[in-house]
Structure 1
Amino acid sequence: MNLIVELRQYTLHPGARETLIELFEREFVAGQEAVGMTLGGRFRDLDDPDRFVWLRAFPSMPERRRALEAFYGGPVWREHRDAANATMVDSDDVLLLRGPGFAPETGAREVLATVCHPTDGDAFDAYAARHLGPEHALHRTEHAENDFPQLPVRTGEDVRVWFGPAEPPPWPFRQLRLEPVTP
């Protein structure tokens, strides 16, 4: 399935991650799902105690806008936004992607996410054919205009994101070691 996916990486105030996770799991998961969002993996960054990483998906860009308007204009966000925002230093590190979405297998203790900046699309496709399978949930940058500008996304870059171990790519990349949040 080819979804619109946001990979969201939040930098939090020191010691605030567990506060945000508890609030997120208690209030925001059901609240976002109720307006049509699909929540994927939610993670603690194992290399940064002040970082929370998560994914959410939408069937299309118009559905993304509709769901974001419904959630951020609705009662759940209105009631809990101040508490959530108080935990955050930065919530604008967001990649807008197209791909299958991703949620870790039940019981997974660690997930490796790779964010790669290939310089040659054809060469990347050859790399992916050799080293990445369906289990890697490969995502590519969605270059559509962000039609919900209240939530910024990173622009001007072309990335590939996948989950799970693989042969290191020959282009600049960053790997995230992530611990799944278990509800």
Structure 2
Amino acid sequence: MDVLETVPTRRRTAADAVVELRQYTLKPGSRDTLIDLFEREFVETQEAEGMSVLGQFRDLDDPERFVWLRGFPDMTTRARSLTAFYDGPVWAAHRDAARATMVDTDDVLLLRPAGPGMGLRRPGTRPPVGAAALPPTLVTATICHLDASAEDGFLAFHQRLVDPALRAAGAPALATLVTEPAANGYPRLPVREGARVLVRLAAFLDRAAYDRHLAALARSPAWRLASAEMDAALSRPVETLRLAPTARSAIR
């Protein structure tokens, strides 16, 4: 079952050409406060300026981390849309409340699809404002930090060995993304400068499905071979975020 099929209208639109993976460190005990504010005030109002709020998540391994994905059709639109929103009345009205929850918001990866058909499809209509039911889905963002750019051989290796082993173990990719090389056109919001990454997003129907995936990987000779070669090619260990979608996350 396609996890995105749980989005009410089951409608798809084209994948965004630019995606931000944003990780916020928050003050202790403030994550739910920010999520409530974000889902009430910052979803439709950002999309009205031409961007996509693709998903909001609680990091299952860090109670002070809020993770979200935002998409844009291109870098020019990104700069224009961010200017319109952060200079606009909604952010002006609520920025102090949002900032009061935050310690750091600069951990941002600026990404693009790794190739044709590898982008993150925009889900259909999300639950309405006020929705409270949490989906059981678990989403993973696996971040590979590269010594060289993904185009210098790692992407081909990943698609030849790593991705098939993960799919065989029950984790088809929602998207495979690599670093967007263009300069950050909106310096008011910093991104990780100099980052070279490949990010694979996957989704599981629940935590039990994720546990079955891990067990399948542990039994897989193909995965043992692929993961050993992958570790040797990376500049640091693979980083895996285990994420629980919020009540209004479109990816759910």
Partners of 1:82 and 1:25 in 2: CA distance: 16
Counterpart secondary structure, 1:137: strand
Q: CA shift at 1:2, angstroms?
A: 5.3
Residues 56 and 101, structure 1, Cα contact 8 Å, conserved in 2: no
Where do residues 145-164 of structure 1 align in structure 2 (5 Å cutoff)? Answer: 145-164=183-202
Question: Residue in 1 aligned with 2:106?
Answer: 92
Query: Which of 34, 52, 57 lines up with 1:43 in the alignment?
Result: 57
Partners of 2:239 and 2:98 in 1: CA distance: 27
Residues 30 and 64, structure 2, Cα contact 8 Å, conserved in 1: yes
Structure 2 CA distance for partners of 1:58 and 1:44, relative to 1, 3 Å: same
Residues 97 and 141, structure 1, Cα contact 8 Å, conserved in 2: yes
Question: Residue in 2 aligned with 1:68?
Answer: 82
Instruction: Please tell me the residue identity of whatever aligns with 1:161.
Output: V
Count of residues paired in the alignment: 183
Partners of 1:2 and 1:39 in 2: CA distance: 11
Counterpart secondary structure, 2:153: helix
Instruction: Please tell me the residue identity of whatever aligns with 1:146.
Output: N
Structure 2 CA distance for partners of 1:176 and 1:103, relative to 1, 3 Å: farther
Structure 1 residues without counterparts, runs of 5 or longer: none
Partners of 1:108 and 1:55 in 2: CA distance: 19
Residues 173 and 200, structure 2, Cα contact 8 Å, conserved in 1: no
Stretch of structure 1 that moved more, 162-171 or 140-149: 162-171
The structure carrying a bigger strand percent of its residues is 1
Where do residues 119-130 of structure 1 align in structure 2 (5 Å cutoff)? Answer: 119-120=147-148, 121-130=152-161
Residues 52 and 122, structure 2, Cα contact 8 Å, conserved in 1: no
**TM-score in terms of structure 2 length:** 0.67
Structure 2 residues without counterparts, runs of 5 or longer: 1-14, 114-118, 127-134, 203-212, 218-222
Question: Residue in 1 aligned with 2:139?
Answer: 111
Write the deviation string for residues 36-78 of structure 1: whole angstroms up to 9, x where unpaired. 1111111000000000000000000000001000000101100
Partners of 1:102 and 1:118 in 2: CA distance: 25
Asked if residue 174 in structure 1 is aligned to residue 205 in structure 2, the reply is no
Residues 16 and 121, structure 2, Cα contact 8 Å, conserved in 1: no
Instruction: Please tell me the residue identity of whatever aligns with 1:21.
Output: I
Query: Which of 135, 141, 144 lines up with 2:182 in the alignment?
Result: 144
CA root-mean-square deviation? 2.2
Counterpart secondary structure, 2:243: strand
Partners of 1:70 and 1:122 in 2: CA distance: 39
Larger radius of gyration: 2
